[in-house]
Amino acid sequence: MTGSVVFGAMAEQSKQRSPDLEGERVRRLRLRADGQRPLGVNLKETISLTRKLFELRDAARRAR
């Protein structure tokens, strides 16, 4: 099978995959990538994300 045929088959397979499945596949790839990073980097990012989520929540409450 030539490279272009393989690419075509992969593209077709990708098109057939539902958005939900594709989103889940990407999410799992991201989890895998995050799991390979140093714990300290992930800890800082978790703390930073938490802070942002609290701020968004508070902003939404104030806007009501």
Partner 1 sequence: MSGPSFDQLLARLVRADVRFVVIGGLALGSWGVIRGTKDCDIVPDPAPDNLDTLARVAVELGGHVQLGESLLGSERSIAALLRSGDRALIATRLGDLDVVQGLEGVMPYAELRASAIDVEMADVTIPICTLEHLRTMKRAAGRPRDLVDLDDLDAAQPGEN
Interaction residues for partner 1, span 17-56 (CB under 8 A): 28, 31-32, 34-40, 42-47, 49-55
- Token readout for 54 is 């609290």
- Token readout for 5 is 């045929």
Distance, in Å, from the CA atom of 47 to the CA atom of 40, rounded to the nearest integer, reads 11
**Closer by beta carbon to partner 1, 12 or else 45:** 45
Torsion 43-48-51-53 (CA) sign? negative
**Closer by beta carbon to partner 1, 14 or else 48:** 48
Q: Which positions touch partner 1 (CB under 8 A)?
A: 28, 31-32, 34-40, 42-47, 49-55, 58
